[in-house]
Chain A
Amino acid sequence: MTATGPSEEPLGVLPSASDGEVDLEALGLKEEDLRELYRLMALTRRADLEATALQRQGELAVYPPLIGQEAAQVGSAFALRESDWIFPSYRELGAALVRGVGLVEYLHFYRATWHGGTYDAREHRFGYVSVPVGSQILHAVGYAMGARLDGDPLVALTYFGDGATSEGDFHEGCNFAAVFRAPVIFFCQNNQWAISVPVSAQTVAPIWKKAEAYGFPGVCVDGNDVLAVYLATREAAARAREDGTPTLIEAVTYRLGPHSTADDASRYQPGEEVESWKARDPLVRYRAWLEGTGLADQTFLDEVEGEAKSFAAEMRSGVIGSDPRPVEEMFRWVFEDVPPHLARQRNEALRFAAEAGDPEVKTRRA
């Protein structure tokens, strides 16, 4: 079984019927890994729904749901080694979860308490949330170039959307990676939409095919098939580690939710299209296969369900319980030191905050 080799049909592993055959040996995953993939997807689904709910209740400023893209994110992040880096965009809560990033810390970005989130990117080798579309792609390329200079057998994977493939940063990143043989996995989640613009209006040629022009493999994979995503990513990582060959993976998936909680997708997204993709729900599909093959029983599924519930509840209380950062922090990390002109501004801001009775400032002074 191999994910490489251009084909017009997205690569799939999961059979469409729940009792079909999968060559598990070729996949190289142990039974507990197969269950772990499900667990991670289920936790992601729960946490994502909870984040959307938190935004609706005014606890987050905005949130871009990833519902429908769990397999694409979990399958790819799971295929990496811990030492590999991930450079996400803004919709990768699922990949963050796989990486062990605290989701409360992740959601500080969307609570508008701290830009990027408050987690330590280096600890998790998971870059900060990056909103300017496509910009993070170049960071992955640079990181991979640096690792190669150091002789580290690392891979840098970057997530981006179908819309991002129109930005110069994507094309420049692909070219740099090819020229410098930088071990990068360009992981495009083609969820069919860039806000209101369908992928058909975004680009004419298939996304995965663009790799050919840059001189490295392009792979098209069923992004709602977690095993296919895993396989394609693992193979891309092996190529990258071997001799720095980059790979462009197009994971064909679907954005089942709005672009973000600020978006009204009913203005442009056809209801029938959404329904047809709901029938291919990656979580439901994988669960059916696990059950069909006997890899998962009801006890396991109940356990995961219970864990997901408490996981989301914990996330919720962590988010709700977090206050705005102290005003002083606005000035603290602009430079290594706070230069005189900024110190003056900081003192002014703190004076006004104190006069306005900002409780944060008062407690800090007390």
Chain B
Amino acid sequence: MVKALNEALRRSLSEDDRTLVLGEDVGVLGGVFRVTDGLQAEFGDKRVFDTPLAEAAIAGVSLGLALAGWRPVAEMQFDGFSYPALDQVISHVAKYRYRSRGRQTVPIVIRIPFAGGIGAAEHHSESPEAYYAHTAGLKVVAPSTPIDAYDLLRASIADPDPVIFFEPKSRYWSKEEGDLDGASALPIGKARVLREGSDCTVIAYGAMVARSLAAAHAAAARGTELEVLDLRTLVPLDLDALAASVRRTGRAVVVHEAPLTAGFGAEVVARLMEDAFDYLEAPVLRVTGYDTPYPPATIESHYLPSVERILDAVDRVTNY
């Protein structure tokens, strides 16, 4: 996935000379995950540059750059270090189009490596997507596979509105066969059924898609067919795809790493109540991280939704 993201940045930089890449250690180092590897060498340090260590400034100057006609792709080094930028993102980036009565858009992409499962130290495993999804004016994207990461990043950079782009760290080293030619690309705002099944829909995004597919595989061995719906984008949410899948299966389980309370799963469940209530055979359940700080990595496996926890929820909705 790292290579696919790198290629998406490379092509955007070469196709549009107004595209900029900025952030901490994105230049010579190529980013701590190497997503920007080689880009400064190829496009120069005017278009791919390290900033001083200041996230609020990275977001705020990205807005200024956008006003000046540039298309900044900013990196927050880790989920847990994106918070100093929240004031700029919430108060300005998200609201600029609205405040300017539609005259001015700020096409900024803020890339955030997110979520856990990589044995990292504190502040390197957080899932802050709900904060952004709750902020009107931001698109929120979270790919689950390398090719889709490529397609979605390309679409995010091309998008006229600001996009918060969540990269699932634990999938950074995942591989996928195929060409980065956009042939199978779906736009922002479309979910994708990755596995069809008739018994229950499992809804996920980011790293939890792979976990849900693993659960579906295990369930199939026991005769239960799970449909796995990859949301791909949280905002705008693909309401049609959600309703269509759950109307077919009559049951749903939502999976995310972020804590339960006021997590994005709550939004998904509410939408299903509105759009698929008559079709539901059982309450919709959530399998999520717990309402605790992200725990130390030596016990993170007890925090993250596991195949067992997903199957347990599936059992409860199918036996309801």
The interface of chain A, by Cβ under 8 A from chain B, is 61-62, 109-116, 129, 131-134, 163-164, 166-169, 194-197, 201-203, 262-263, 267-268, 324-325, 327, 329-331, 334, 341-342, 345-346, 348-349, 352-353, 355-356, 358
Which secondary structure characterizes the binding site on chain B?
A: loop
Q: What are 26 residue pairs bridging A and B, where the CB atoms are less than 8 Å apart in the complex?
A: A61-B120, A62-B120, A62-B121, A110-B121, A112-B121, A112-B297, A114-B296, A115-B122, A115-B293, A131-B123, A132-B83, A132-B123, A167-B53, A195-B32, A196-B50, A202-B52, A262-B32, A267-B29, A327-B299, A330-B292, A330-B299, A331-B292, A341-B291, A345-B291, A345-B292, A349-B290
Per the 8 Å Cβ criterion, residues 14-60 of B in contact with A are 24-25, 27-30, 32, 50, 52-54, 56-57
Whether A334 contacts B291 by the Cβ 8 Å rule is yes
Given that A195-B25, A196-B25, A345-B291 are known contacts, is A163 also in contact with B53, CB under 8 Å in the complex?
A: yes
B264 within 8 A of A: no
Chain B 291-314 against A: per-residue CB contact (8 Å), 1 yes, 0 no?
A: 111011111001100101100100
Contacts of A132 in B (CB 8 A): 80-81, 83-84, 123
Docked-complex contact A109 and B299, CB < 8 angstroms = no
Chain A residue, CB-CB nearest to B28: A268
- Is B308 a contact partner of A112 (Cβ separation < 8 A)? no
Residues of B within 8 A of A268 (CB): 28-29
On whether the beta carbons of B56 and A330 are closer than 8 Å, the reply is no
Q: Report whether B298 and A112 are in contact in the complex, using a CB–CB cutoff of 8 Å.
A: yes
Q: How far is the CB of B89 from chain A (nearest CB, A)?
A: 15
CB B243 to nearest CB in A, in angstroms, measures: 28
List B contacts of A133 (CB < 8 A).
53, 81
Residues in A neighbouring B306, C-beta threshold 8 A: 352
The answer, among B52, B122, B291, for a CB contact under 8 Å with A131, is B122
Measured CB to CB, the closest approach of chain B to A173, in angstroms, equals 13
Across the interface, do A112 and B119 meet the contact criterion of CB distance under 8 Å?
yes
In the bound assembly, the distance between CA atoms of A114 and B296 in angstroms comes to: 5
Which among B53, B291, B297 is the interface contact of A197 at CB below 8 angstroms?
A: B53
Contact of B290 among A110, A201, A325, A331 (CB under 8 A): A331
Residue of B56, B295, B297 most packed against chain A (CB within 10 A): B295
Min CB distance A196 to B, Å, is 4
User: B83: nearest residue on chain A (CB-CB)?
Assistant: A132
Chain B hits for A334, CB < 8 A:
291-293
Tell me whether B260 and A330 are in contact (CB under 8 A): no
Let me know if B291 and A324 touch, CB within 8 A.
no
The answer to whether B25 touches A197, judged by C-beta atoms less than 8 angstroms apart, is: yes
Partner of A194, one of B53, B80, B83: B53
Complex interface: chain A residues within 8 A of B54 (CB): 166-168
Q: Which residues of B, 114-149, contact A by the 8 Å Cβ criterion?
A: 119-123
Closest Cβ–Cβ distance, residue B293 to chain A (whole Å):
7
In Å, the complex CA distance between A353 and B290 comes to 14
How far apart are the CA atoms of A329 and B292 in the complex, in Å?
10
User: What are the residues of chain A within 8 A of B57 when measuring CB–CB?
Assistant: 166, 168
A109 touching B121 by the CB < 8 A rule? yes
Q: Pick the contact of B296: A131, A168, A325 (CB < 8 A).
A: A325
Which one of A166, A169, A330, A356 lies within 8 Å of B303 (CB-CB)?
A: A330
Counting chain A CB atoms within 10 Å of each CB, the highest count among B27, B84, B308 belongs to B84
**Among the listed A110, A197, A324, A330, which residue makes an inter-chain contact with B50, where contact means beta carbons less than 8 Å apart?**
A197
Whether B308 and A352, one on each chain, are in contact in the complex, defined by CB atoms closer than 8 angstroms, is: yes
Bound form: Cα–Cα A133–B84 in Å: 10
- The docked-state distance in angstroms from the alpha carbon of A356 to that of B53 is 43
Chain A residue with minimal CB distance to B290? A345
B184 close to A (CB within 8 Å): no
A62, A134, A167, A197: most-surrounded residue (chain B CB, <10 A): A197
B121 touches A131 (CB 8 A): yes
Do the beta carbons of B298 and A325 come within 8 Å of each other?
Answer: yes
Report A325 CB to chain B, min CB distance, Å: 6
6 extra interchain contacts, Cβ-Cβ under 8 A, other than A115-B122, A329-B299?
A: A112-B296, A116-B122, A194-B24, A195-B24, A196-B25, A325-B296
A residues within 8 A CB of B122? 109, 115-116, 129, 131
B254 to chain A, nearest CB (A): 16
Contacting pair A327 B298 (CB below 8 A): no
Q: Does B104 contact A (CB under 8 A)?
A: no
Complex: how many Å from CA A197 to CA B290? 36
List the A residue with the shortest CB-CB distance to B294: A115
Once the chains bind, are B53 and A166 in contact (CB under 8 Å)? yes
B261 within 8 A of A: yes
CA separation between A262 and B56, bound complex, in Å?
25
A342, B297: Cα distance in complex, Å: 20
Contact B29 A196 (CB under 8 A): yes
Given the complex, which residues of B lie within 8 Å of A349, measured CB to CB?
290, 302-303
By a CB distance below 8 angstroms, the chain B residues around A62 are 120-121
In whole angstroms, how far apart are the Cα atoms of A358 and B299 in the complex? 11
